[in-house]
């Protein structure tokens, strides 16, 4: 009695799934044909009715976002797909694009028709050569088949290794040829986005979900998920589990259910902490195994659904080490535009390093929380907010473990025990 | 060495992809890397000229993004993920073993110019942890031993094929050309997905049986 509902991943097990032939074998490019024959507003309404919400982390209703684009304004409109997947733990869009790039191409055609855009861009992270190849080939083949061209162009833009470009306004600056730094809002991209023109920025999975909704209808999509979180989505399970991988399921499934499907935590070990949606979402513990993994459920439990990146850590993992490493990441990726994030992440790393090495004092925990308080909500963009999540949530759930580093004069854990090849190379 | 007419034509075709020329700066920087292996001063000057902007503006972009290198890297550039999840599951051990094995530090290049080493951030393959990238191709589920044999084979000029990638590992310069948007004809090579990507799909077909 599985709860799994493969839609996006339905044909990934076919060896040629990434080709246009395979995509068409399963009805590919029929949805765009249908949508192009519809009034753009009717397409927007259908997506609104389906209940589809942004799969990039924020969960904003996709149809509503499209509806914000001013109509009849005689300006160029743009669709920009965020394929910069870089949030630690997040690994859904890259396998999707490797196995089925055409579903994104078709989604772009439909979404651009709805928002009256004649040109769309896919901004993909640069560190994935083969995914770039597959997507470029798909675009080329879609042009040859006449699905692109004829007044609608799709351009693949390859990034160059900056996490901040996953933030939508930094992405737009980067796409315009500048350093990727976030913009002040308002104006929002719907009014002044790419080249100061009305722009929709959507995550890969959001746009890739569109063709199936057009093909099967809003009611079909509504039939999956929970009251306010409709549809199915990709949950990415990684870490100390027996069988990590992608699980496409209706929103609202729990970690306990997914872990059961995956064969549980690796044998002989037990769950210690996990992230529901990447490193920027406050960590959970085994007390949250039955939290419904939908937008409302995770939020009510004090975290965020984010990108549904379920990173599982067992009891061998030092939480201070884990949090320090994430914090070093945020420090490295801070774009430097605003002071709370640029200076704050630097200080967070210094203090956490001392704590991990057993050189800190208990007062440092208060200092950490004070710093987080001065970064959270005071930074230019969500990167700063995200940097505080692992710290505040880990101090909340594992304060004793921080203290243990002080009484022990250093980290009490043996890092070799957390590796998958424990003992093999020691 | 100045850019050839062919190379300049390619650079101009990259610019034509965009409604505003400045947007081409990133693919042009990838293209410059595909010729010299890194972002040369000459490359920066050429981009500035083509886009009619200042060289300082091109440099400002080139130095913001970590994938653009201002000095030569190896023919095979190896990145070990040491973000939290990969680090915990073995990435730290792999990175430290490779540093010892190659005798280089982070961002170092072996004396023969064959292999360079960098610790990298999350590369969107966490269900295949620990992850190592070579020229930004996926080497999944690595161990200290497998990573050592990867770099040894790369130094011998015979690296193994990526786990999810083309049948043969391309060079750093060749990979940079792909990132500049140039089709190398290898998109149809390699698997469509690895086992973890297919796990949920397989379970749903078996009615949830493991």
Residues of A in contact with B137 (CB under 8 A): 129-130
Identify whether residues A61 and A204 lie together within a single domain: yes
Q: Hey, what long-range contacts does A180-188 have (CB within 8 A, 24 or more apart)? A: A180/A335, A180/B64, A180/B65, A181/A335, A181/A336, A181/A337, A182/A335, A182/A337, A182/A380, A182/A381, A182/A383, A184/A380, A188/A68
* B67: nearest CB among A76, A87, A161: A161
pLDDT over 90, % of chain B: 97
The pLDDT-based confidence of B210 (bands split at 50, 70, 90) is very low
Residue A91 covered by a domain? yes
CB contact under 8 A, B130 and A178: no
- pLDDT digit string (tens) for A246-297? 999 999 999 999 999 999 999 999 999 999 999 999 999 999 999 999 999 9
Q: What is the pLDDT of residue B206?
A: 85
**A243 and chain B in contact, CB less than 8 A:** yes
Identify whether residues A277 and A205 lie together within a single domain: no
Q: What is the pLDDT of residue A423?
A: 52
Please tell me the pTM assigned to this model.
Answer: 0.97
* Boundary residue ending a domain (A274, A299, A314): A314
Identify whether residues A56 and A156 lie together within a single domain: yes
Residue A127 covered by a domain? yes
| Total count of domains within chain A | 3
Q: What is the pLDDT of residue A406?
A: 96
Domain residue limits, chain B: 5-62, 76-171
Mean pLDDT of A306-314: 98
Identify whether residues A271 and A354 lie together within a single domain: no
Q: What is the pLDDT of residue A71?
A: 87
Name residues 305-364 of chain A within 8 A of B (Cβ).
Answer: 309, 311, 313, 317, 321-322, 325-326, 329, 332-333, 335
**A417 and chain B in contact, CB less than 8 A:** no
Domain harbouring A408, CATH code? 1.20.1440.230
Structural domain that includes position A359: 319-415
Q: What is the pLDDT of residue A1?
A: 44
Residue A425 covered by a domain? no
* Boundary residue ending a domain (A172, A189, A222): A222
Identify whether residues A214 and A139 lie together within a single domain: yes
Mean pLDDT of A56-76: 95
Q: What are phi and psi of B139, to 5 degrees?
A: -115, 100
Domain harbouring A236, CATH code? 3.10.20.600
Identify whether residues A260 and A398 lie together within a single domain: no
Q: Which CATH class is domain B76-171?
A: alpha beta
- pLDDT digit string (tens) for A111-153? 999 999 999 999 999 999 999 999 999 999 999 999 999 899 9
Average pLDDT of chain A is 96
Write out the H or E segment, with its range, that includes residue A249. Answer: strand A245-250
Mean pLDDT of A385-389: 98
CB contact under 8 A, A133 and B162: no
Residue in this structure with the two tokens 């499907």, named with its chain if needed: A261
- pLDDT digit string (tens) for B186-207? 999 999 999 999 999 999 998 7
Identify whether residues A288 and A359 lie together within a single domain: no
Strand partners, A246: A236
Say which residues have a Cβ less than 8 Å from residue B185's Cβ, sequence separation at least 6: none
Residue A10 covered by a domain? no
Domain harbouring A25, CATH code? 3.40.50.11540
Identify whether residues A33 and A157 lie together within a single domain: yes
Identify whether residues A32 and A145 lie together within a single domain: yes
Mean pLDDT of B153-163: 97
Residue A47 covered by a domain? yes
Residue A6 covered by a domain? no
**B153 and chain A in contact, CB less than 8 A:** no
Q: What is the pLDDT of residue B1?
A: 67
- Please give the CATH topology (third level) of the domain spanning B5-62: Arc Repressor Mutant, subunit A (1.10.10)
Residue A11 covered by a domain? no
Residue A374 covered by a domain? yes
Residues of B in contact with A421 (CB under 8 A): 90, 93, 143-144
CA distance B24 to A315: 48
Tell whether the model's pLDDT for residue A167 goes beyond 90: yes
For A153, nearest residue in chain B (alpha carbons)? B17
Identify whether residues A194 and A107 lie together within a single domain: yes
CA distance A58 to A75: 27
Identify whether residues A342 and A244 lie together within a single domain: no
Q: What is the pLDDT of residue A422?
A: 72
């Amino acid at each position: 009695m599985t709860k799994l509902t493969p839609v996006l991943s339905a044909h990934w097990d076919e060896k040629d799934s990434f080709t246009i032939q395979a995509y068409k074998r399963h009805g590919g490019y029929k949805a765009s044909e249908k949508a192009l024959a519809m009034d753009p507003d009717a397409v927007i309404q259908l997506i609104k009715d389906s209940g589809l919400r942004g799969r990039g982390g924020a969960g904003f209703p996709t149809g509503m976002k499209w509806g914000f684009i001013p109509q009849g304004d005689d300006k160029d409109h743009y669709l920009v797909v965020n394929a910069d997947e870089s949030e630690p733990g997040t690994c859904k869009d890259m396998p999707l694009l490797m196995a089925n790039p055409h579903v994104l191409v078709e989604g772009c055609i439909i979404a651009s028709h709805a928002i009256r855009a004649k040109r769309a861009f896919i901004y993909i992270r640069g560190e994935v050569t083969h995914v770039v190849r597959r997507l470029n080939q798909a675009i080329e083949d879609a042009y040859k088949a006449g699905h692109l061209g004829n007044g609608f162009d799709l351009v693949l833009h390859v990034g160059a290794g900056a996490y901040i470009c996953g933030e939508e306004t930094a992405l737009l600056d980067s796409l315009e040829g500048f350093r990727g730094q976030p913009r002040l809002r308002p104006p929002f991209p719907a009014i002044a986005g790419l080249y100061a023109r009305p722009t929709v920025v959507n995550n890969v999975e959001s746009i890739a979900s569109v063709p199936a909704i057009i093909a099967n209808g809003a009611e079909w999509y509504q039939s999956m998920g929970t009251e306010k979180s409709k549809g199915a989505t990709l949950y990415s399970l990684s870490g100390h589990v027996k069988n990590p991988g992608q699980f496409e399921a209706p929103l609202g499934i729990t970690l306990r259910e997914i872990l059961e499907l995956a064969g549980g935590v690796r044998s002989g070990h037990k769950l210690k902490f996990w992230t529901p949606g990447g490193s920027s979402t406050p960590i959970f513990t085994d007390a949250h195994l039955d939290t419904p993994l939908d937008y409302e459920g995770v939020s009510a439990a004090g975290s965020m659904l984010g990108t549904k990146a379920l990173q599982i850590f067992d009891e061998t993992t030092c939480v201070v080490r884990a949090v320090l490493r994430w914090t070093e990441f945020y420090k490295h990726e801070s774009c430097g535009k605003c002071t709370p994030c640029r200076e704050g992440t630097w200080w967070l790393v210094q203090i956490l390093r001392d704590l991990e090495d057993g050189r800190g004092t208990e007062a440092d925990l208060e200092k950490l929380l004070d710093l987080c308080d001065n970064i959270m909500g005071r930074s230019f963009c969500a990167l700063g907010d995200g940097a505080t999540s692992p710290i505040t949530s880990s101090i909340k759930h594992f304060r004793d473990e921080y203290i243990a580093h002080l009484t022990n004069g250093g980290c009490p854990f043996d890092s070799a025990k957390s590796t998958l090849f424990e003992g093999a190379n020691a | 060495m100045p850019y050839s007419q062919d190379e300049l034509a390619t650079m101009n075709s990259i610019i034509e992809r965009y409604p505003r020329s400045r947007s081409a700066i990133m693919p042009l920087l990838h293209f410059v890397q595909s010729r010299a292996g890194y972002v040369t001063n000459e490359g920066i000057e050429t981009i500035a000229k083509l886009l009619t902007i200042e060289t300082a503006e091109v440099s400002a972009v080139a130095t913001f993004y970590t994938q653009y290198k201002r000095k030569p890297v190896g023919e095979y550039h190896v990145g070990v993920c040491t973000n939290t999840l990969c680090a915990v599951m073995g990435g730290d051990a792999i990175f430290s073993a490779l540093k010892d094995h190659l005798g280089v530090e982070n961002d170092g290049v072996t004396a023969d110019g064959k292999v360079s080493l960098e610790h990298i951030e999350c590369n969107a393959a966490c269900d295949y942890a620990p992850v190592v990238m070579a020229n930004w191709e996926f080497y999944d589920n690595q161990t200290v031993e497998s990573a050592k044999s990867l770099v040894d084979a790369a130094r011998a000029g015979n690296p193994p094929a990526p786990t999810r990638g083309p049948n043969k590992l391309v060079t750093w310069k060749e990979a940079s050309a792909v990132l500049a948007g140039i089709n190398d004809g290898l998109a149809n090579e390699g698997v469509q997905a690895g086992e973890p990507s297919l796990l949920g799909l397989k379970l749903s077909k078996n009615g949830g049986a493991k």
